[in-house]
Structure 1
């Protein structure tokens, strides 16, 4: 026997009492059930917790646990060798020093309860069960509920299942009918699917209403046209010649800056002209050629006759005043306006025959946009005939009626197009997916053999709305004939090659004749998206409200409208009497 080693039968007891009232004791017993205990009572009453230290008979493991079986705090395995009593004594002293801290944390856990997590032991309380392979009640409940939800997701919802109208009604039904978890999950799924259908139907209804609002004429603008037309018949000054006879030679003078605008919207035309003149450093060099239809001609003429933009010059011409616009020269336009299938497509029921269950709101919105009645308007197709309508002009800037000019456009006439016909901004270089990420695949049906044969789906598209046209170069091409031939093919195919207006055939007709200009000249999308960057709007030379949310409509975006309304003359009697945009 090793010297200093005590006989087995001898028992040792060490007691220690701390000032905080925490007690500890060690009892060693002889025999086969050798066990050492260190115990402590923490708290009082119902919150009492007793901690115990268990030393195995073989002296190879030490376990610390609570008497209420809340948690096994620590288990230490000792290497398989003899331990001196001195080492054991020091180990027990160290554990006795640490135990009060462990007891305090355990008491906090007991007092706080399982669901609270405000003390430092929260980490141990959460991670401990996982290390020991245990799952608390909340996790077990969540796991069981996920299992039930997975089962219910594949089940058929019974016909005639009565669904609560709200969450409060659902809770009330649960209390009254004592639903089990599976029934609750099934009803919850049925309610969610119903709400999704309702939201989807509401979204489509919103898109339809927006389409009708965008296609209609606001009461104020209609009033303005009627009052100005009446003024034309009763006021000689409203019928005065535009421009004055002494300025007639300027209409074909290529030293001036000629703008072309085709519209039947008097208010929109006034904003385009006013903004261009006010933004110009040399307004005396500006000549506007405004083309309108026969019904709007008198009102349009009255407005510019009564509201001079001098020193700029304005010419008003009706479509009926162009001798060149005959059925022989424009055969396809005649077909487009008289073709029953085409008229039904643009003016018919846009919901009938549409499978809304398989259509996304965005796709539906695009289809509605492509069915705007303006796409079969003669005014919308006139841009392809500019060289013939203005045979004496060499270079012009074409503007849509939903734009605002914010910067001097005179440098556009000094722009070298490199022999190309059309100076335009490309629409595939931007970050947004709705306006400035357009390629030919966005406009054409590439499942059609003719389209697939002649076009590249990844080719970049360009924008109408602000275009610099070199008419001398244009007259040397067959752009108009190409435009007509592809329109005929699309009509023969029952509009299966493309749906959207005049831009697709122009993308084909101008192929190889487009010179890309800097995007700062023409910013698009103000009628599509309300998240337009205001700083970019301020910097752009021309801003374009292309899309349904025109600034003169109630559905226009309020934060983008001021860039347009700043050029509306609200002091004008006609504007005031028609209560426009009040």
Structure 2
């Protein structure tokens, strides 16, 4: 209970900083900067005799420029109570007189610096709280897994074979539309599955292969046993059910163990990252994101083994668990991939430059010679989340080995080739094997771009909540979360008992 209370307190605190102090600091900071420019510009002409103790002249005293340009010591402002705390305080002190030009500039510099430090700290605290919120498992989702695991134990109806015996042949039948979803989040998986089937024009031709881990298998099986999506065919399988998926046979598992050890010491952990006083807040946010457990999850790496997981299938569509499907996806099977392996949406062209401006240099460290001599920094990147994979074409390539090679190189270089996730090695491994598809099929950024147009999102084929603000978290953007919650039945007994609510 203490953990959950602390979690909720962090969420509240983050929002408090967002809505109050953070805004105040920005407003005050902007006012002060404008005031500084205007005030200093006319200081020598209008206020010289009264404030500067000198005759009126047309130029600003050189001492002001010199003083404002002098750097403040790292601890110079600590424990100081004589620094004006607001524009009003500064104006009051100024009107009292007695300031020469140097004193005026010193006070102005100290006040602006103090405001900048507070603004920076507020931003860092926001990023830290968001990191904690996005990396933690909400108690409602934990409750849902426990409830379903208990149901699996006590209710035979929650232990159905998925799919039933007569439908098993469809699992390897290439006349069906095969989708793959890897997830350890039951609620997220349920939304992806429901949105997929509900929007499909021929649901009887849909086969959804759900892959999960050992601890989530029973809750996942219980959910889909009790919540049928017939006539679609649902398979639930844990990684340990695949005979070949053992440590000795899967290079990525060994790499993940090494990667986890490196990340545990990455830049001294979150405390050391936050305490760095020289980094910009956005840089600190990126480093915190690199520590997120999801970037070391086998669920994120599983897609690189699709040819081995499904040796009988020719083509699959791989789905992330933070997407919502809003249209029939069967036309994806009609796309001519021109011999390419990966059908994906590019992320360097689009109206939203914040989301659609990603090139290889956005993900790879081109200051490292291994990267700079092999790749073009201005080459367009593409996205994971909703991808068409031609497994027949894939089996003729060296993509999987290339992926493992570069993951190993990154670990050997202390994560200096890239910091985040499975997309960077994916960009390398699939280099030259990507067929660009229409952006209608995959709209990105709903987990970090709060200003995403709701109308644009609503009209997209698939929306992707990539980013920290996942729709099942308190930090989700309310106006965008509605696209996700429409596929959650809040009257369901498991959902209600775990207090999972629409808002």
Q: Is the 8 A contact 1:431 1:437 kept in 2?
A: no
Q: In the alignment, what sits opposite 1:316?
A: 236
Offset from partner CA, 1:520-552 (integer Å, 9 cap, x none): 110000001111122221221000000001111
Offset from partner CA, 1:197-249 (integer Å, 9 cap, x none): 01101111110110111111111111101100110001110011111111111
Instruction: Write 1 or 2 for the structure with the bigger share of helix.
Output: 2
The CA distance in 2 between the partners of 1:193 and 1:243, in whole Å, is 64
The CA distance in 1 between the partners of 2:357 and 2:290, in whole Å, is 17
Q: Is the 8 A contact 1:238 1:301 kept in 2?
A: yes
Q: TM-score, with normalisation over the residues of structure 1?
A: 0.73
Q: In the alignment, what sits opposite 1:565?
A: 485
Q: Give ranges in structure 2 of 5+ residues lacking alignment.
A: 1-43, 51-55
Asked whether 1:459 is paired with 2:393, we answer no
The CA distance in 1 between the partners of 2:422 and 2:69, in whole Å, is 48
Change (3 A) 1:493 1:354: farther
1:496 counterpart (408, 416, 419): 416
Q: CA deviation at 1:444?
A: 1.0
Change (3 A) 1:396 1:156: closer
Asked whether 1:405 is paired with 2:325, we answer yes
Q: TM-score, with normalisation over the residues of structure 2?
A: 0.84
Q: CA deviation at 1:568?
A: 0.4
Q: In the alignment, what sits opposite 2:204?
A: 284
Q: CA deviation at 1:460?
A: 1.1
Asked whether 1:150 is paired with 2:65, we answer yes
Q: In the alignment, what sits opposite 1:221?
A: 141
Change (3 A) 1:155 1:446: closer
1:549 counterpart (469, 474, 481): 469
Q: CA deviation at 1:571?
A: 1.2
Q: In the alignment, what sits opposite 1:49?
A: none
Asked whether 1:295 is paired with 2:215, we answer yes
Offset from partner CA, 1:36-67 (integer Å, 9 cap, x none): xxxxxxxxxxxxxxxxxxxxxxxxxxxxxxxx
Q: Is the 8 A contact 1:259 1:289 kept in 2?
A: yes
Asked whether 1:331 is paired with 2:251, we answer yes
Q: In the alignment, what sits opposite 2:286?
A: 366
1:186 counterpart (101, 106, 112): 106
Q: CA deviation at 1:368?
A: 2.4
Change (3 A) 1:348 1:286: farther
Tell me whether 175-184 or 417-426 shows the greater mean CA deviation: 175-184
Q: CA deviation at 1:374?
A: 1.0
1:257 counterpart (158, 177, 188): 177
Q: Is the 8 A contact 1:145 1:181 kept in 2?
A: no
Structure 2 residue matching 1:349: 3-state secondary structure: helix
Offset from partner CA, 1:236-280 (integer Å, 9 cap, x none): 100111111111111111111111000000000000000011111
Q: In the alignment, what sits opposite 2:158?
A: 238
Offset from partner CA, 1:427-459 (integer Å, 9 cap, x none): 111243432111111111112222122111111
Q: Cα RMSD (Å) of the superposition?
A: 2.5
Q: CA deviation at 1:329?
A: 2.1
The CA distance in 1 between the partners of 2:119 and 2:451, in whole Å, is 23
The CA distance in 2 between the partners of 1:272 and 1:156, in whole Å, is 54
Q: In the alignment, what sits opposite 2:431?
A: 511
Q: In the alignment, what sits opposite 2:25?
A: none
Change (3 A) 1:185 1:348: closer
Structure 2 residue matching 1:350: 3-state secondary structure: helix
Q: In the alignment, what sits opposite 2:352?
A: 432
More relative contact order in 1 or in 2 (CA 8 Å, sep 6+)? 2
Of structures 1 and 2, the larger Rg is shown by: 1
The CA distance in 2 between the partners of 1:174 and 1:450, in whole Å, is 57
Offset from partner CA, 1:342-374 (integer Å, 9 cap, x none): 241569622416784442222222232233211
Structure 1 residue matching 2:269: 3-state secondary structure: coil
The CA distance in 1 between the partners of 2:321 and 2:487, in whole Å, is 13
Instruction: Write 1 or 2 for the structure with the bigger share of strand.
Output: 1
Q: Give ranges in structure 1 of 5+ residues lacking alignment.
A: 1-134
Offset from partner CA, 1:382-439 (integer Å, 9 cap, x none): 0000110111111110000000000100100111101111100011112434321111
Q: How many residues align?
A: 448
Change (3 A) 1:402 1:143: farther
1:307 counterpart (227, 230, 249): 227
The CA distance in 1 between the partners of 2:317 and 2:71, in whole Å, is 62
Structure 2 residue matching 1:362: 3-state secondary structure: helix
Q: Is the 8 A contact 2:339 2:393 kept in 1?
A: yes
The CA distance in 1 between the partners of 2:57 and 2:119, in whole Å, is 30
Q: How do 1:101-120 residues align onto structure 2 when only pairs under 5 Å count?
A: none
The CA distance in 1 between the partners of 2:85 and 2:365, in whole Å, is 44
